[in-house]
Amino acid sequence: MGASAWDYYVPYQEDLGAALEELRHRVFSAGDYFWVRGADGLPEEDRRPRPLTLDELWADEWTQHSGTHSVIDVFHVQREDEEPEAFAVQPVTAEEARRVTGTERLTREHVPVIQDLARRRWYGRCAVLHDDHGTPQEIYFWGWSGD
């Protein structure tokens, strides 16, 4: 199948980790993810109903290999000073924002420019987006995952 790009906007909150966790649960609850055990063309003996919890989803070995092609595939937000790691989200740093957009206060208009900051599979990024007055309004999460 190959990796899939995903992106989401959520209302701003100071705790990026809490925002990610709420988003992961929302996407899971809505069923807005790829469920490998429900894929078209899968033999009936391998098909399973969608899991009832995120823990049940990740206990499935097929999901561990294929992922969900969604934000569910990343588990936590790293600190800005940490090296990027798989299955994590890294915030856009002020230096990165200045380098690619010329400003530290990102807005929705900057999204097409910052999207290239997430190029690795099984990895996500996030950025706080501001309104015209410089007030944080939302958080943009995006990345690539799935096999």
pLDDT for res 84:
85
pLDDT for res 71:
98
Compute CA 110 distance to the chain's CA centroid, rounded to the nearest angstrom: 18
Domain ranges within the chain, ordered by starting residue: 4-145
Q: Give yes or no for residue 60 having a pLDDT over 90.
A: yes
Q: Give residue for tokens 């595939």.
A: 73
Bridge-based pairing state of the strands 88-91 and 136-145 = unpaired
pLDDT in tens, 29-45: 999 999 999 988 889 99
- Asked if 72 and 55 count as a contact pair (C-beta separation under 8 A), the reply is no
Radius of gyration of the chain (CA): 16
Instruction: State the pLDDT confidence band at 1, using cuts at 50, 70 and 90.
Output: low
What stretches of 1-143 show up as alpha helix (H) in DSSP?
16-30, 54-59, 61-66, 94-101, 111-114
**Beta-carbon contacts of residue 45 (< 8 Å; ≥ 6 apart):** none
Greater pLDDT, 121 or 130: 130
pLDDT in tens, 86-125: 999 999 999 999 999 999 999 999 999 999 998 888 999 9
